[in-house]
C-alpha cells in the first residue's frame, strides 16, 4: 500500500510540474511581430507629422504623474514617425488602451520639447528595445520623485 502511495505521489508531482512548465510563458516579446505590425501601419497610413509618443500614468491622488516619452523611431535604419508604433498594442493600440489612470497619445512635439530631460541621471534617455533590432526608439522618463513630469507632457498625453 505504501508503495502505491509513493508511486501515485510521484505521478501527481510529475504531472503537476509538467502542466506548470507547459503553461509558463516567455516574457520575451515577438520582435518580428511588432516590426511586421509597424510596417503594415506605415503602408496603410499617410505621412506622419508626429514626433513622439507620450504615455502618462497617475502616480498618486495628489496630481503627480509618472511617464515615458518615445521618439527617434527607426525601422531598419530609416526614420519613421511614432504613429505606426502607437497603433500597435505595446504603443497603446491607437488610444484604445486609454483609461482615467493611464493615457497614450502621439504629439507633434519632441520629448525634449515636452520637458523630458536628456542625458541626466534623472529622466535619462536610452535606446530601446535593442540597437541590434530592426525597430528601435529612444525612451525618456519622468516621475514625481526625481524628475517631475512637465505640464506640457501631461497635457500631450491627454490628461
> What is the tens place of the pLDDT at every residue in 100-121?
999 999 999 999 999 987 655 4
Inside any domain, residue 125:
yes
* Number of domains within the chain: 1
- Give the per-residue pLDDT at 85: 86
Q: For 133, what's the count of Cα atoms within 13 Å in the CB-facing half-sphere?
A: 18
Tell me the pLDDT of the chain averaged across its residues: 77
Inside any domain, residue 16:
no
Inside any domain, residue 26:
no
- Give the per-residue pLDDT at 84: 85
Domain span at residue 108 reads: 37-157
Inside any domain, residue 81:
yes
The cell numbers describing 18, all together, are 509538467
Inside any domain, residue 53:
yes
Average pLDDT over residues 40-50: 73
pTM over 0.85: no
Local structure of 85: helix, strand or coil: helix
What's the longest Cα–Cα distance across the chain? 75
Determine contact, residues 100/94, Cβ cutoff 8 Å: no
Inside any domain, residue 139:
yes
Inside any domain, residue 5:
no
Local structure of 73: helix, strand or coil: strand
Inside any domain, residue 30:
no
Amino acid at each position: 500500500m505504501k508503495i502505491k502511495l509513493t508511486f501515485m505521489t510521484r505521478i501527481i508531482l510529475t504531472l503537476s510540474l509538467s502542466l506548470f512548465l507547459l503553461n509558463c510563458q516567455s516574457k520575451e516579446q515577438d520582435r518580428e511581430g511588432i516590426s511586421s505590425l509597424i510596417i503594415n501601419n506605415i503602408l496603410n497610413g499617410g505621412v506622419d507629422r508626429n514626433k513622439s509618443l507620450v504615455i502618462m500614468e497617475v502616480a498618486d491622488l495628489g496630481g503627480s504623474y509618472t511617464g515615458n516619452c518615445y521618439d527617434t523611431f527607426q525601422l531598419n535604419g530609416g526614420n519613421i514617425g511614432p504613429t505606426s508604433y502607437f497603433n500597435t498594442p505595446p504603443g497603446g493600440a491607437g488610444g484604445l488602451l486609454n483609461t482615467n489612470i493611464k493615457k497614450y497619445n502621439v504629439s507633434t512635439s519632441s520629448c525634449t520639447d515636452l520637458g523630458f530631460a536628456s542625458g541626466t541621471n534623472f529622466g535619462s534617455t536610452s535606446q530601446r528595445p535593442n540597437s541590434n533590432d530592426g525597430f528601435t526608439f529612444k525612451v525618456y522618463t519622468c516621475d514625481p520623485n526625481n524628475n517631475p513630469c512637465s505640464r506640457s507632457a501631461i497635457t500631450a498625453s491627454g490628461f
